[in-house]
Chains A and B, each alone.
Chain A
């Protein structure tokens, strides 16, 4: 008997993306540039995060027609974003055959209490996190892939680093924790006890964990891999740079050879201007995206 939509096939696609770069694209032409550069998947959306940040207002799921045009333009997997808690946007994305849904804080949340019940879908979901508790809550709701939230659209890597160090640090702490203390730890980080036990036993998250939010250079991508990321999302960092095809290829090579400084040096040379950045510490609290969701 063939079975679709199983946990193994949802988690399995994320396994295939590992060691790769998932790039934000807003047109079929961008998608082709990303595929040519070696992206392992693309995220189809109407505006990259830095433009969403600049424009303000309510950010929603992209036009399905625009997403479908991108799906037709490339053979690599295509992801798209739904608002936090907006399960009908997720229904729509599943109906058009999207490969992965990002329930994303980059869009304006639709529900302040409940995230999407992701177990109800055949299509897999990726969700953002700032720490281990948030990661395990999302996995408990059915997320088959996790990424750091970082601070999207800033080109400042500091928040992604903070979130990755927090997740990996708590995983390491858990490995040395006596079983008797797991109950209080699960309560402290507000995570399902069964998943806390699983993380202790396996020494890592039960699903693939990518870095996202602020990656702008090949060295940024390699830094996140060195900190334990399984791969990277790059949003505004490619198509807001001076030379997108070159930057895209360089970030792909740096992600593969993240332990090889000679390769990173070679691909970082002569890339032109990176995306203009925003120092996260200079942003007022109400403009932070990472604090959306719980």
Chain B
């Protein structure tokens, strides 16, 4: 059992490059088991998967060179929760500008890389997350992407005050252009673990 009384689960964090340690520590603080994933064979034993922040071109290259693309697509289709933060969101999107190699391409969203500018434009801001109790979420955006379009079955989950889309959900999959793992706020990690759904075709 976890600290807040839910069942403890095993969550993998794709650890090819990026801030996988911050996700691992957040999940462990919540009472879950967290595993750094560097080989496709590790995916089978997981209840959920996080694709962390990092450099999307680097992670995309390592996904291909390590034979992860097919196994990650298959994992997303099992209905187990999958969450991409920042670079991870870029990799989940079906449409991305200026990414010269394919990612995982499973969510019906269009993502614009580095949409807010270079590092000096990186920022913190409050975002409203639909269905999240406890008030606005203080979000950290690092050379962040923007979600330009969300097509069904994907839906908008969070926006900035000016309406810019910064989070989207499609069934068991979640994409955020910011980094909840860099804050002390575990509400989005808890939200993500609640996204499990039966895979298509074997719904109860």
Residues in A lying within 8 Å of B, measured CB to CB: 1-6, 8-9, 12-13, 15-20, 35-41, 71, 75-77, 94, 97-100, 122-124, 249, 252-253, 256-257, 260
A1-B125, A40-B55, A76-B57 known; A19-B118 Cβ under 8 A? no
A231 — nearest CB in chain B belongs to which residue? B17
Complex CA–CA separation, A13 to B123 (angstroms): 11
Residues of B contacting A40 in the complex (Cβ-Cβ under 8 angstroms) = 17, 54-55, 58
| Residue in contact with A252 in the complex, picked from B62, B142, B182, CB distance below 8 Å | B62
What are 17 A-B contacts with C-beta separation under 8 Å?
A: A2-B124, A2-B125, A5-B120, A8-B182, A9-B124, A12-B179, A15-B179, A16-B87, A17-B55, A40-B55, A97-B120, A98-B119, A99-B118, A100-B119, A249-B65, A252-B58, A252-B61
Q: Are A19 and B122 in contact (CB under 8 A)?
A: no
Q: Are B182 and A15 in contact (CB under 8 A)?
A: yes
A6 to chain B, nearest CB (A): 5
Q: Are A35 and B124 in contact (CB under 8 A)?
A: no
Q: Are A77 and B119 in contact (CB under 8 A)?
A: yes
A261 to chain B, nearest CB (A): 13
A19-B15, A20-B54 known; A77-B143 Cβ under 8 A? yes
A99-B118, A100-B119 known; A16-B126 Cβ under 8 A? no
Q: Are A19 and B20 in contact (CB under 8 A)?
A: yes
B114-131: CB near A (< 8 Å → 1, else 0) gives 100111111111100000
Query: Does B86 belong to the interface (CB within 8 Å)?
Result: yes
Complex CA–CA separation, A8 to B140 (angstroms): 7
Q: Are A260 and B38 in contact (CB under 8 A)?
A: yes
Residues of B contacting A122 in the complex (Cβ-Cβ under 8 angstroms) = 120
Complex CA–CA separation, A257 to B15 (angstroms): 9
Residues of A contacting B86 in the complex (Cβ-Cβ under 8 angstroms) = 16
Q: Are A38 and B62 in contact (CB under 8 A)?
A: yes
Complex CA–CA separation, A40 to B121 (angstroms): 19
Q: Are B119 and A99 in contact (CB under 8 A)?
A: yes
Query: Does B105 belong to the interface (CB within 8 Å)?
Result: no
Complex CA–CA separation, A3 to B86 (angstroms): 18
Complex CA–CA separation, A76 to B121 (angstroms): 15
Q: Are B65 and A253 in contact (CB under 8 A)?
A: yes
Complex CA–CA separation, A12 to B120 (angstroms): 12
A39 — nearest CB in chain B belongs to which residue? B58
- A-B contacts counted at CB < 8 A amount to 127
Complex CA–CA separation, A291 to B114 (angstroms): 38
| Residue in contact with B142 in the complex, picked from A3, A16, A123, A260, CB distance below 8 Å | A16
Query: Does B7 belong to the interface (CB within 8 Å)?
Result: no
By Cβ-Cβ distance, the 9 closest A-B pairs, closest first, are: A99-B119, A40-B55, A9-B122, A2-B125, A15-B19, A38-B61, A19-B17, A12-B142, A2-B123
B15 — nearest CB in chain A belongs to which residue? A19
A260 to chain B, nearest CB (A): 7
Q: Are A4 and B120 in contact (CB under 8 A)?
A: yes
B161 — nearest CB in chain A belongs to which residue? A2
6 further contact pairs, Cβ within 8 A, besides A13-B122, A16-B18, A17-B54: A4-B120, A8-B124, A8-B182, A75-B113, A253-B62, A256-B17
Query: Does B103 belong to the interface (CB within 8 Å)?
Result: no
Complex CA–CA separation, A253 to B19 (angstroms): 17
Residues of B contacting A253 in the complex (Cβ-Cβ under 8 angstroms) = 62, 65
| Residue in contact with B122 in the complex, picked from A12, A35, A98, A256, CB distance below 8 Å | A12
A39-B58, A77-B143, A260-B38 known; A15-B121 Cβ under 8 A? no
Q: Are B143 and A99 in contact (CB under 8 A)?
A: yes
| Residue in contact with A75 in the complex, picked from B17, B98, B124, B141, CB distance below 8 Å | B98
Residues of B contacting A15 in the complex (Cβ-Cβ under 8 angstroms) = 19, 22, 53, 142, 179, 182
Residues of A contacting B66 in the complex (Cβ-Cβ under 8 angstroms) = 256
Complex CA–CA separation, A99 to B114 (angstroms): 12
Complex CA–CA separation, A20 to B18 (angstroms): 7
Query: Does B111 belong to the interface (CB within 8 Å)?
Result: no
Residues of A contacting B183 in the complex (Cβ-Cβ under 8 angstroms) = 8
Q: Are B121 and A18 in contact (CB under 8 A)?
A: no
Q: Are B140 and A12 in contact (CB under 8 A)?
A: yes
Query: Does B16 belong to the interface (CB within 8 Å)?
Result: yes
Residue of B54, B55, B123 most packed against chain A (CB within 10 A): B55
Query: Does B21 belong to the interface (CB within 8 Å)?
Result: yes
Residues of A contacting B117 in the complex (Cβ-Cβ under 8 angstroms) = 97
Complex CA–CA separation, A36 to B62 (angstroms): 11
| Residue in contact with B182 in the complex, picked from A12, A39, A97, CB distance below 8 Å | A12
Q: Are B38 and A257 in contact (CB under 8 A)?
A: yes
Residues of B contacting A2 in the complex (Cβ-Cβ under 8 angstroms) = 123-125, 160
Q: Are A123 and B119 in contact (CB under 8 A)?
A: yes
